[in-house]
Amino acid sequence: MQSIDYTDTLWEFMLKESDSISQGEKPTFLLRPGVDESELYYGTTENHQLKAFEVELPVSESSKRSSLGLITAQQTVGRDEARDIGMKLWSSLPSDIKQSFQVSVQGATKDQAPVRLKICSALSSVTDIPWELLASETGSALSLHPNVRLVRTVPVLIPPPALTVTTPVQVLLLVTNPKDARLLQPYKEIMAIRGGLNFPDYKLRILDVPTLEALQLELNNNPPHIIHYIGRSAVSKGEGNIILHDNQDRTFWLCGSDLARILPPSVRLICLSACYTAENYRAMGLSRIAHSSASFQLPTMIANQYPLGEPSIVAFWNAFYPSLIEHQGNVNEAFHEAQLAACKGGPPDSADWASFVLILRDRTGKALRIVKEETVNDVARLAAELSAQVATDLANILAEQIRALGDNVSSEVRKLYESESDRARWLVNKATNIERD
């Protein structure tokens, strides 16, 4: 299948700097439209010259403190409610931005250059908003438009090169069911996502005892390309957590930074599925983990942002995994097709399909390049890809530090950043050229 390029539009949301919010007041946000993530970094463009628009987002009044967002995480969302939310979101946007976006969409032709709308913010009050519901004046959801791919992005300066993987793609499945919480029905949970993971395209391993130690051991001994987590999630101190087991099979919370520490570099996609056979603590935790700071080396993720039912889960994952193979690892396309499948296969009165969120953490959504046959350059290419990945991680961490420090950054840090980002680009280029050979 031909590789798909996208026409990217990036909407970066910030809190208005001068806005001091007292209790009960709504914050004012700034929306800065741009082309892609590179505009957010030092030395890459004059990002400060980009125009920013004031927007009043429909977040709850308590969002500054609890960051819960528009809807509570304990409820599923009905289709009518979803349409109202989507239109409300749309109406809150400046007309210049809406117009510009609509022009781009109309100009795009399906399968050639779809418009990829990237929502970007460091604020959980923004990322908690179900942007996937965004609907135009007519009430039609933009996510489901054939010319639109609506994703979130946690920006990185330099995208790592895709890791070339010859099928079967290794998938590690984690189903957690600690005894101090309401018990899931693991078999049903597994079966709901299992349908698309067919051999010979995928090789599935299931971790029997999902303690942190067992997970670390498994990741070291059998590094997977995809981790699929099914279970509950929680929010602590604003951070999302997934639930593992401790040594007594009780609840053990794992946050994004700790997850990043144990991941082998082979993992290019994490899918965080909310369980459906038992009530969740707070499904929003899954999406929060996926939006963790860019300084944690986490891969691109798919997460649920609110609870949903079995038919939608089955429809989504049954479509997603085969589509990922078909699109040679392009998560944007597989996700879009799975959303459409969930919309079609889910209950007619629900908006379960919009519970799925794609959060790009590699800028491209193409961190895997899935092939079916080995090539002669495998060893050299693999070494080059791995080497470039680590180099881009370093450059991205430094870029993040500079972004955080702003004008206070010293010239030494800038020099380091410049030399390491040059090195990373060179290694990415080298890896890409080997791929082409």
Binding site residues, another protein, CB under 8 A: 220-223, 264-266, 297, 379-380, 382-384, 386-387, 389-391, 393-394, 397-398, 401, 410, 412-413, 416
Q: How far is the CB of 386 from another protein (least distance, A)?
A: 5
Q: How far is the CB of 379 from another protein (least distance, A)?
A: 5
Closest CB to another protein among residues 43, 146: 43
Residue pair 57/129 in contact (Cβ under 8 Å)? The answer is yes
Closest CB to another protein among residues 38, 396: 396
Whole-angstrom Cα distance, residue 400 to residue 190?
37
Q: How far is the CB of 393 from another protein (least distance, A)?
A: 6
Whole-angstrom Cα distance, residue 437 to residue 435?
5
Instruction: Tell me which residue of 235, 245, 234, 190 sits closest to 212, measured CA to CA.
Output: 245
Neighbours of 374 (CB within 10 A): 9
Environment class of 124 (CB within 10 Å of its CB; exposed 0-12, middle 13-18, buried 19+)? buried
Residue pair 295/400 in contact (Cβ under 8 Å)? The answer is yes
Closest CB to another protein among residues 370, 397: 397
Closest CB to another protein among residues 95, 379: 379
Closest CB to another protein among residues 156, 384: 384
- Cα-to-chain-centroid distance, residue 284: 13
Q: How far is the CB of 346 from another protein (least distance, A)?
A: 39
Q: How far is the CB of 100 from another protein (least distance, A)?
A: 38
Q: How far is the CB of 430 from another protein (least distance, A)?
A: 11
Show Cβ contacts of residue 355 under 8 Å, excluding neighbours closer than 6 positions. 76, 77, 130, 274, 283, 304, 305, 306, 307, 308, 312
Closest CB to another protein among residues 356, 417: 417
- Which DSSP state fits 269? E
Q: What b/e sequence results for 380-391 when a residue is b if at least 16 CB atoms lie within 10 Å of its CB, and e otherwise?
A: ebeebbbbbbeb
Closest CB to another protein among residues 67, 396: 396
Q: Any bridge partners for residue 150, and if so which? A: 117
Q: How far is the CB of 218 from another protein (least distance, A)?
A: 12
Closest CB to another protein among residues 58, 265: 265
The residue type of 51 is K
Closest CB to another protein among residues 242, 263: 263
Q: How far is the CB of 174 from another protein (least distance, A)?
A: 19
Give the containing element (helix H, strand E) for 242: strand 239-245
Omega before 200 within 30 of 0, i.e. cis: yes
Residue pair 251/180 in contact (Cβ under 8 Å)? The answer is yes
Q: How far is the CB of 164 from another protein (least distance, A)?
A: 12
